[in-house]
Amino acid sequence: MKPKPIIALIIIGLSFSCSEMERQNIQWKSIEKDLQTRFITVEDGAIIELPEGYYMFTRPLLIDGKKSVTIRGQGIDKTILSFQLQSEGAEGIKASNCKNLEFEDFTIEDAIGDNIKVTDTEGITFRRVKSQWTGGPKEENGAYAFYPVLCKQVLVEESIAIGSSDAGIYVGQSDSVIIRNNTVNHNVAGIESENSRWVEIYGNETYRNTGGILVFDMPGLTQSGHTTRVFNNIVRNNNLWNFAPPGNIVGTVPAGTGMMLLATRNIEIFDNIISNNMTLGIGIASYDLVEALGAEAGSQLDENIETAKTDLKYDPYPNQVNIHDNEFENSYWFPTMKNDFGWLFMMKFPFNTPDIVYDGIPPGDDLFEMCLTNNGSAKFANLDAANNFDGLSTDVELYACSQPIIAPIF
């Protein structure tokens, strides 16, 4: 049976409405002052136990300069921290300059900005944490559910991210990262790795996001990203409208995207199930395409484009891309008509929407390496965007090659 998007949207809306009605009967309590004091005075090596119950906060919880501290609730459905009445700051929990910090077994929700932000930390673990916005997908939601940036040895596992207006699970400018066995839905980007190195993304289920999994490399940041393995994920039905605030880079991601690679290198994508993403299964794009799309975008995207022009170390082209042994399925006869890519595919590939799409903008005189092998009946398209889409090609045999596999990080 063909999917019925209108019915699906009605069901989604009813589920959020019912959840909101149930929450009206919750008896919220406050432990704000005592818990912030505990965050400040906790000794290295200690465990902060969050009690069972529903707790409301008006300002961020801050922890800084601690070592080997665990912040542990009584379970995702038993300890709930809400920032719905937040009147100060932006984050729900903000951690910085720590070492071996662990968050586990609680829910955090509805911060003005990011639900949990961690910076400049070596050894950060999120385990069985639910991070969400409870009012459904909307532009006013915070950007990131999980937001480790400038960190090393990052682990996000068995967690849930819902409702982010940018990315549910984001990792930026970080090294040695594992994102595994998570459930991510109703975000703009489900999982996003940006300018990070030695990254493994596996065992996750991403669905009903705008884009399921993104691996981006952006200009003007402290480091370039490389060496990423994306495998054994289920990436399905990522057809949610793009509700990112105007000007955000993820605002260029078309609804119906399974995975997108932007200007990244040394990446291996294998053994994934990629199904029913209406626009494309996997997209491989250069930053030149972002510049073209940015003509009608907002000021933040304009600033990023200008940064790319002045960042002499930035390489805007993807390279060393190895996509193999994935399973593709798309039961939609037509791509979505809600973005330019959908219209392009409808005109150029009627009843034959491509699964793997390369923008066709080569990296100048440098050798472009991309191998596409053993992906079943996956349909391929080279858009030839470098020549105004004039030389579109579906010849996947041009990329029938092999590359060395990337060794596991751990």
Looking at the chain, how many residues does it have? 410
Look-up of token digits 């975000």: 187
| Cα–chain center distance at 219 | 18
397: phi then psi, degrees, rounded to nearest 5? -65, -20
Task: Compute the distance between CA of residue 234 and CA of residue 227 in angstroms, rounded to an integer.
Answer: 21
More confident position, 26 or 13:
26
Query: Helices (H) and strands (E) in the chain — how many of each?
Result: 5, 30
DSSP, res 56: E
Dump pLDDT digits (tens) for 27-76.
899 999 999 999 999 999 999 999 999 999 999 999 999 999 999 999 99
Which amino acid would we find at residue 69? V
308, pLDDT greater than 80: no
List pLDDT tens digits, range 160-199: 999 999 999 999 999 999 999 999 999 999 999 999 999 9
Tell me how far apart the alpha carbons of residues 50 and 21 are, in angstroms, rounded to a whole number.
25
What letter does residue 29 receive in the DSSP assignment?
A: B
Which of 128, 248, 147 shows the shortest CA–CA distance to 193?
147
Q: Are 405 and 371 within 8 A, CB to CB?
A: no
Kindly report the average pLDDT of the chain as a whole number.
Answer: 89
Q: What residue has token string 């951690």?
A: 95
Q: Is 4 exposed, middle or buried (0-12, 13-18, 19+ CB in 10 A)?
A: exposed
Distance between CA atoms of residues 213 and 180, nearest Å:
12
Distance CA 240, CA 234 (A): 16
- pTM score: 0.90
- The two tokens of residue 361 are 């903008």
Counting Cα atoms < 13 Å in the Cβ hemisphere of 154 gives 30
Q: Which of 77-91, 157-171, 214-228, 303-317 has the lowest mean pLDDT?
A: 303-317
Integer Cα distance of 366 and 318 in angstroms: 11
For residues 374 and 385, what is the distance between their CA atoms, to the nearest angstrom?
A: 26
> Could you tell me if 260 and 285 are in contact, meaning their C-beta atoms sit under 8 angstroms apart?
yes
pLDDT band at 307 (very low <50, low <70, confident <90, very high): low
Q: What angle do CA 82, 83, 89 make, to 5 degrees?
A: 155
